[in-house]
A = this chain, B = another copy of it.
């Protein structure tokens, strides 16, 4: 049986891509203004204006949790309601950071097929505006690519944002895997964000080749408000901010981010296809980004673990098994892994 050397447990167990590491080394030369008053941070804003084909404001952060929680604190008051899918990372995996940074808002967890919010369920959930007894509808948060490895189409996002805006909600996108979604959809960054009604984006870099680099990107500048103070107070304004901005610049330069995501998506498709041919393995959700969700029986899971494969029981309420492919996963590792699954399954029968 082939040995598994790759780790499909997450896209954050792998290294940063060479362009990003090289950029950090290069940024280390000489002096630079501190707390964001540096060349790289200034450039980053201009660059993201180009990428998104509009005027934006950007605040780099170190983690996705910080990007999300600070974004949400900019769109929801402390007594606000933030609507999101039940499975949303902001709802399940950030140890109540959004509630903390907003000062006590409520995340309203909505169900929906494939991990997607639907217009109907969203519309039904938005209640209580103007009534002092109820927390106040304030924001919608969508994850793109979402927690089931699928992507929202531009039409879906537009329709959801339209409902939200009709109720005076702001719209946030958790783009931890934004590049993977872009590649999957074949759309431009502008099309899937502000043109579809997104007001503020958590722009992810870490999962797709950065070392630690995310950014809050405001499309609706009225929302920026006092963000600079919240950003500093959160401990997210690095004194040597150039090192975060340099990562993001290298990530964007020469379309590194899109190349990384293309590769990850392609390899995920290969993984999806091959392991689903194994008897007893079934696709739980369409593979539309760099995450593959399948169901497999407990025996097979156990055998894979015995082969050194890390499998997290808590994904999606324990209803599916997740394999995540990274920007640098080689195709032969995919194939070896598929062989391992097959071998385990055969013994299984």
Contact = CB atoms under 8 A, between A and B. Distances in A.
Interface of A: 6-7, 10, 12-16, 21, 24-25, 28-35, 61-67, 69-70, 77-81, 92-97, 99-100, 102-107, 109, 127-128, 131-136, 206-207, 211-212, 226, 228-240, 243-244, 314
A309 B65 CA distance: 38
Given A14-B31, A106-B107, A95 B240 contact: no
Q: Which of A24, A102, A105, A234 has the most CB of B within 10 A?
A: A234
A62 B81 CA distance: 26
B21 A95 contact: no
A307 to B, nearest CB: 16
Contacts of A229: 77, 79, 95, 132, 136
Sorted from nearest, which 9 A-B pairs have the closest CB atoms? A66-B235, A12-B239, A99-B104, A100-B104, A96-B135, A132-B232, A95-B233, A65-B235, A15-B28
Contacts of A78: 96, 100, 103
A106 B97 contact: no
Contacts of A92: 133-134
Copy count, this protein chain: 4
A38 to B, nearest CB: 9
B28 A232 contact: no
Nearest to A9: B34
B235 A236 contact: yes
B13 A133 contact: no
Given A25-B25, A34-B12, A95-B135, A206 B100 contact: no
Nearest to A239: B12
A18 to B, nearest CB: 9
B12 A30 contact: no
Contacts of A94: 133, 232-233
Contacts of A239: 10, 12, 63-64, 206-207, 212
A34 B13 contact: yes
A238 B63 contact: yes
Contact of A35 (B21, B132, B230): B132
Contact of A104 (B103, B136, B206, B236): B103
Given A97-B232, A212-B244, 12 more contacts: A21-B28, A62-B62, A62-B212, A65-B232, A77-B229, A78-B96, A94-B232, A95-B133, A95-B134, A99-B104, A128-B314, A212-B243
Contacts of A235: 61-63, 65-67, 69-70, 97, 234-236
Contact of A24 (B93, B211, B237, B244): B211
Contact of A100 (B29, B97, B211, B233): B233
Contacts of A25: 21, 25
Given A21-B24, A24-B21, A206-B239, A79 B230 contact: yes
Contacts of A128: 314
Given A29-B15, A62-B235, A62-B238, A127 B314 contact: yes
A91 B299 CA distance: 41
A212 to B, nearest CB: 5
A93 B133 CA distance: 5
A72 B133 CA distance: 18
